[in-house]
Amino acid sequence: MVKHNSGLLTSEDRAYEIKPVGNPDGFVRYFRRDVLSGFLVFLIALPLCLGISLASGYPPLAGVFTAIVGSIMATLLSNSEMTIKGPAAGLIVIAVGCIESFGGDGMLGGWSEADLNAYRAALAVGVVAAGLQILFGFFRAGILGEFFPIAAVHGMLAAIGVIIISKQIPVALGVSAKGEPLELLREIPTFISEANPAIALIGAVSIAIMFLWPAVGKKVKFARLVPSPVIVLLVAVPLGMIFDLMHAHSYVLQNHEYQLGEQFLVQMPDRMFGMFREVTTPNFAALGQPVAWKWVLMFFIIGSLESILSAKAVDLLDPWKRKTNLDRDMIAVGSGNFCSALIGGLPMISEIVRSKANIDNGARTRFANMWHGVFLLACVALIPTVLHRIPLAALAGMLVYTGFRLAHPQEFVNVYRIGREQLVIFVVTLVAVLATDLLLGIAIGIAIKFAFHLANGVSLKSLFWPDVETSDVDGQTVRIVAGNSAVFSNWIPLRRNIEQLGLLNGKNIVLDLSRTRLVDHSVMDKLHEMESEFRQRGLQLQLVGLDAHLPLANHALSARRRGLASFRRVTIVIDPELAGTVTGSLLDLGVAEYSVLNGANCCVHVAESRDAVHEPRMRIEIICSREDSDAIIEFLAQDVVPTRRATVCVESISVLGGSMKRRSTSRELEAVH
């Protein structure tokens, strides 16, 4: 047996890996594994579905309806085996924005007639957006998710994280607040000073558990088996009972009177099967308002993009490396959204956090998604009064943690490592989304990306259509030569060429990028993905022609621009017997390439007297970066030159290309891991 991150792969699993079984067979064969994983994912999904619903301005059960419908539709229609469909934090901003545009405010001040009308209008918007997603899939347009530049997408998600934090902190503190994200962030000190101490305690404890429990799991094996949202509920519900939130009352602390009651708990049906009374239908008359179509586009574009990106990410985590048909998956997501909106549910996507938990819990087929929906249905149908005891502050705490993960400071560091221009696009998109809205914000990020490309010499025509030439090499290999540029906006036609000539025809591809002025980060990243796809098919995608390109950062996937690069040439002239010691030290410093000349072709004429003496010397030449040359010079100055006869020369040079190879030292590899 072979151990994998999802458990032990048996000979039965190996058969599945080689030749996937059909759905009915998989249902029976992996019944126990899929049911167990579905139950564990249900434990994570339940509080998140409730929290996302409330944060979106929808009734609590709306998110549960979404997950239940998604679990059924995705199992029937999609071929994505590991993804979990349901409401996601990334769509909170759109959902709550839609509700507010129609005059609602969700949980603020209780559930009013205006909130109900806004909710029904948002459902109508969801139905139309879902119809567009279905058409999107039928017209095989799933590849359009490849268009958006990676830095702009990450900037948008980070902005969504900041917005979630700004809107959930007041809920976690037990205060009412509304306003734009930047306003809410400025008011956080005021919210803290006005916080309801009992509710704030529940919120603070919940946030602390969400942040600290993963660290506990690294040291305690048992902690890894219990998801942090479950621990939050196990602590927050008893705290709510201690504070008697089921009954309205007040308490006094430091001469201030604070109110407690059911308004701080999740509102749920008061009887078994009461969930069916919560089914709500759309108000299609709202589509007559022009503002509705703005939100149709928002739900359609952002929801589709997030779902496609999540499905692709989950494919990379799948132990069997099964590939999702993105067009078919989009039809499944659209169909799920259509049915969900008709009964009062939120928009759904392929949710990556729950999907990863599904894989880690040992799921084998898409039926794990179905079982997680079955458990959700049983829970809300049979024990709604138990769910009523969950404090809103606990759900808000979970969402604060989710928002932090989307806008984690490490994201800024990761983007900077890929290139400074990527950080600019990331930050501009983030700020633009916070200052305007999602669509305008990501459009501004894309515009900045275009500006960088034009500044780097990319022609307007080449921005959208690559100059491609193809030729057959040997019957099994096709050579594709890309001209002018290979950037995010012309990636789709370039990808279609690679797919049609390579993957669909079972041929190897040599992609020649020597004629391009610029290959941007998005294309470098997607080519890296495609190399994996080719390997899985027993084929090869080979990239050539990048030796004449200068990386814009010291990262394997950074953008490349053709031109002269600045380097240093270090020349060392030493006695031959020292050569082994010096070259060995160069390898320890990470130098991968150097040139050596020795013997009669490299002699030094010593003419201290009239009788010239020829002494053999060895000449070692290294072309490297400024940082590497500094390390080499420091080594030579300390360990070689003071005691041995050696001459060192350092020159600044320009090189056509710039991808000088470098070995990773053992110390650097240790730091990475």
pLDDT in tens, 466-496: 889 999 998 899 999 998 999 999 999 999 9
Cβ distance 510 to 477 under 8 Å?
yes
Cβ distance 589 to 635 under 8 Å?
yes
Distance CA 541, CA 533 (A): 9
Q: Within 13 A of 623's CA, how many CA atoms are on the CB side?
A: 13
Question: φ and ψ at 545, to 5 degrees?
Answer: 90, 5
| Helix, strand, coil share of the chain (percent; to 5) | 60, 15, 25
pLDDT at 621 over 60: yes
pLDDT of residue 6: 42
Cβ distance 206 to 232 under 8 Å?
yes
Q: Indicate if 513 and 421 belong to the same structural domain.
A: no
pLDDT of residue 149: 92
Interhelix angle 352-360/290-317, nearest 10 degrees:
20
pLDDT at 186 over 90: yes
Q: Indicate if 288 and 417 belong to the same structural domain.
A: no
Highest mean pLDDT among 70-74, 315-319, 459-463: 70-74
Report which of residues 569 and 65 the model is more confident about: 65
CATH of the domain at 628: 3.30.70.120
The residue among 439, 454, 469 that closes a domain is 454
The residue among 559, 589, 620 that closes a domain is 559
pLDDT at 7 over 50: no
Contacts of residue 582, defined as CB under 8 A and 6 or more positions apart, other chains included, come to: 572, 574, 620, 636, 640
| Mean pLDDT value across the chain | 87
pLDDT of residue 613: 54
In the chain, the amino acid numbered 333 is V
pLDDT at 2 over 50: no
Q: State the burial class of residue 606 (Cβ atoms within 10 Å of its Cβ: 0-12, 13-18, 19+).
A: exposed
Cβ distance 321 to 5 under 8 Å?
no
Structure tokens at 416: 């900077």
Contacts of residue 526, defined as CB under 8 A and 6 or more positions apart, other chains included, come to: 146, 491, 495
Q: Indicate if 92 and 235 belong to the same structural domain.
A: yes
Structure tokens at 423: 């950080």
Q: Indicate if 371 and 486 belong to the same structural domain.
A: no
Q: What are residue 597's DSSP bridge partners?
A: 619
pLDDT in tens, 28-40: 889 999 999 999 9
Query: What share of the chain has pLDDT > 70, as a percent?
Result: 90
pLDDT of residue 634: 87
Residue 381: its H or E element = helix 367-382
Structural domain tally of the chain? 4
pLDDT at 304 over 70: yes
Cβ distance 393 to 233 under 8 Å?
no
Residue range 175-202: mean pLDDT, rounded: 93
CATH of the domain at 479: 3.30.750.24
pLDDT of residue 147: 85
Distance CA 497, CA 218 (A): 45
Q: Indicate if 587 and 531 belong to the same structural domain.
A: no
Q: Indicate if 61 and 79 belong to the same structural domain.
A: yes
Q: Indicate if 268 and 398 belong to the same structural domain.
A: yes
In the chain, the amino acid numbered 398 is M
Q: What are residue 606's DSSP bridge partners?
A: 613
Interhelix angle 438-455/420-435, nearest 10 degrees:
150
Q: Indicate if 257 and 361 belong to the same structural domain.
A: yes
Q: Could you list the residue range(s) of the whole structural domain that residue 640 is in?
A: 563-672
pLDDT of residue 109: 64
pLDDT of residue 669: 34
Q: Which of 400-414, 537-551, 616-630 has the lowest mean pLDDT?
A: 616-630
pLDDT of residue 66: 97
Distance CA 636, CA 585 (A): 10
Q: Indicate if 428 and 376 belong to the same structural domain.
A: no
Q: Indicate if 121 and 266 belong to the same structural domain.
A: yes
3-state secondary structure of 540: coil
Q: Indicate if 23 and 164 belong to the same structural domain.
A: yes
pLDDT at 106 over 80: no
Q: Indicate if 555 and 567 belong to the same structural domain.
A: no
pLDDT at 603 over 80: no
